[in-house]
Amino acid sequence: QKYFRVASRDLQQLDDTTQLPLLSHFAETVEGLTTIRAFRYEARFQQKLLEYTDSNNIASLFLTAANRWLEVRMEYIGACVVLIAAVTSISNSLHRELSAGLVGLGLTYALMVSNYLNWMVRNLADMELQLGAVKRIHGLLKTEAESYEGLLAWPPAPSLIPKNWPDQGKIQIQNLSVRYDSSLKPVLKHVNALISPGQKIGI
């Protein structure tokens, strides 16, 4: 139980982590199938799909192996319990201490021990997994909101917005800096651009 609960929790998280890129890649491939065929990138995306599939299958294989490992151990423990109950019941029955009905009842309950042990350990592991999901959600809720620098504010000041805005479909970018996290360096630094009305821009 001690080994299975830890291993199953980590393997289930690994399975979920490797499954998300696979599903995302599949959805993106379906959406951009026309573009992929136009540039003849079928082999590249197929190879990427196989890599994601292999990663997810490895995690699923180890998770299945952990479940089989638990079943073998639980069946072994259950068999030991049944053996002890059978030997004890038969020895007491030979000495006229137990009736045949009580012996049969004891063996029946002993046969159910492995199933209940398996059920208990699996539910404990599943409970720990669900609690881990709650912990991750709690961590996301505690994540600090991104800070915006510059004149960006909401609601904007009335003096910054002209009355006839927007009179043209023009986009003007001034000193744009973007970073993935506040602790990282900017990936875009002081970008200035002017997109005229009707102009086509590729990103």
pLDDT in tens, 104-161: 787 888 888 877 887 887 788 778 777 777 777 887 788 777 665 555 555 555 556 6
Q: What architecture is domain 2-141?
A: Up-down Bundle (1.20)
99 pLDDT above the threshold of 80: no
**CA distance linking residue 56 with residue 50, whole number of Å:** 10
- Top-confidence residue, 87 or 147: 87
Helix (H, G, I), strand (E, B) or coil at 26: helix
Q: What's the DSSP call for residue 145?
A: P
Position 145, amino acid: A
3-state secondary structure 42-67: HHHHHHHHHHHHHHHHHHHHHHHHHH
* Residue 97 phi, psi (nearest 5): -90, -25
5 pLDDT above the threshold of 70: yes
pLDDT recorded at residue 61 = 93
pLDDT recorded at residue 168 = 73
pLDDT in tens, 22-50: 999 999 999 999 999 988 889 999 999 99
For the chain, domain boundaries: 2-141, 149-203
Burial (CB count <10 Å: 0-12, 13-18, 19+), residue 23: exposed
Helix (H, G, I), strand (E, B) or coil at 177: strand
- Top-confidence residue, 23 or 13: 23
pLDDT recorded at residue 44 = 92
- Tokens 């830890």 label which residue? 6
N-terminal to C-terminal alpha carbon distance within the chain: 53
pLDDT in tens, 167-200: 777 888 888 888 887 778 888 888 888 888 878 7
**Sign of the CA dihedral 181, 183, 188, 191?**
positive
Mean pLDDT for the chain overall: 81
